[in-house]
């Protein structure tokens, strides 16, 4: 099965809200080179796999060769970073940009990898009320938010009360257990509301 289109659309919108969207490379708060919607570029070699464009009058023109992409990576990687430097401050130090289509492609890959993890965790055979694909859309959205933030192992091992409530399909009990101090009040409320909107043990089939 594939991830529902409406869920994927909302997940993409949310991730963009949490990570921002930048067509140029920048250094995150740990000094890691990043692009698009929070896509980490682990080393200069990884630039070869990404499509960047040269620009004229701030508009993308021709595809940049690997050498130029790696030179940009090297130049940005040397810049100061940290609490004073938001992603947008790196724009003036860059010459290359990604097009929306390429950014979306990376985001899709990101969502797909989390989707695979979610379908691996939430299975009826493992004691959950349904396989991930058959859980209500709002529950899927809430679980995406959690896994994107915490990672696969933490949502189960560090949130046992939440996990037990999910196994029972008790969304009302699960809702307050999703609270995380590392995310905003608005985001916590959004995830709680998603779960509270689903009737207890309501399981849908697509």
Partner 1 sequence: MKAPLYSLLLCLMLSACNGSHKNIPSTINLPEFPGFEIKANSDFGSVKLSGYEYKSVDGKTVAYNTCAEATNSKETEIAEYELFRYRLLINSCHALKRYLAAKPSTDSFFPSQFDASLVRELPATSVPLLNKTQEEARTGKTVNTYFANGQLSLEKNGSVKLQTVDDEIIYTLLARGDLTNDGIEDLLVRTEWYARKASGKHVDLLVLSKTGQDKAVTIEWRLMSN
Tell me which residues touch partner 1 (CB under 8 A).
17-20, 29-30, 38, 80, 82-84, 86-88, 147-154, 158-161, 179-187
Length of the chain equals 206
Complex with partner 1: residue 64 or 111, whichever CB lies closer: 111
> Tokens representing 135?
């859980």
Closest among 122, 185, 202 to 156, alpha carbons compared = 122
Distance CA 130, CA 134 (A): 6
DSSP state of 111: H
Complex with partner 1: residue 20 or 71, whichever CB lies closer: 20
Complex with partner 1: residue 73 or 144, whichever CB lies closer: 144
DSSP state of 2: -
Complex with partner 1: residue 36 or 53, whichever CB lies closer: 36
Least Cβ distance, residue 183 to partner 1 (angstroms): 8
Least Cβ distance, residue 177 to partner 1 (angstroms): 8
Least Cβ distance, residue 7 to partner 1 (angstroms): 18
Least Cβ distance, residue 65 to partner 1 (angstroms): 30
Distance CA 55, CA 194 (A): 42
User: How many Å separate Cα 189 from the centre of its chain?
Assistant: 18
Complex with partner 1: residue 124 or 154, whichever CB lies closer: 154
| C-beta of residue 44 within 8 angstroms of C-beta of residue 70 | yes
Least Cβ distance, residue 158 to partner 1 (angstroms): 6
Longest distance between any two alpha carbons in the chain, whole Å: 57
């Amino acid at each position: 099965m594939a991830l529902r289109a409406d869920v994927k659309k909302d997940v993409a919108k949310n991730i963009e809200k949490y990570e921002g969207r930048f067509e140029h490379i920048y250094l995150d708060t740990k000094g890691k080179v990043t692009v698009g919607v929070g896509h980490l570029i682990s080393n200069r070699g990884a630039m070869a796999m990404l499509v960047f464009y040269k620009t004229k009058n701030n508009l993308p023109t021709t595809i940049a060769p690997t050498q130029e992409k790696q030179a940009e990576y090297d130049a940005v990687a040397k810049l100061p970073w940290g609490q004073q430097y938001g992603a947008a401050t790196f724009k003036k130090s860059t010459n290359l940009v990604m097009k929306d289509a390429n950014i979306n492609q990376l985001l899709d890959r990101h969502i797909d990898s989390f989707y695979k993890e979610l379908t691996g965790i939430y299975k009826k055979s493992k004691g959950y009320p349904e396989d991930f694909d058959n859980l209500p859309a709002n529950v899927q959205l809430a679980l995406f938010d959690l896994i994107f933030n915490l990672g696969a192992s933490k949502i189960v091992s560090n949130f046992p009360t939440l996990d037990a409530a999910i196994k029972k399909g008790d969304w009302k009990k699960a809702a307050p257990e999703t609270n995380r101090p590392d995310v905003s009040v608005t985001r916590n409320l959004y995830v709680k509301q998603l779960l509270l909107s689903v009737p207890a043990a309501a399981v849908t089939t697509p």
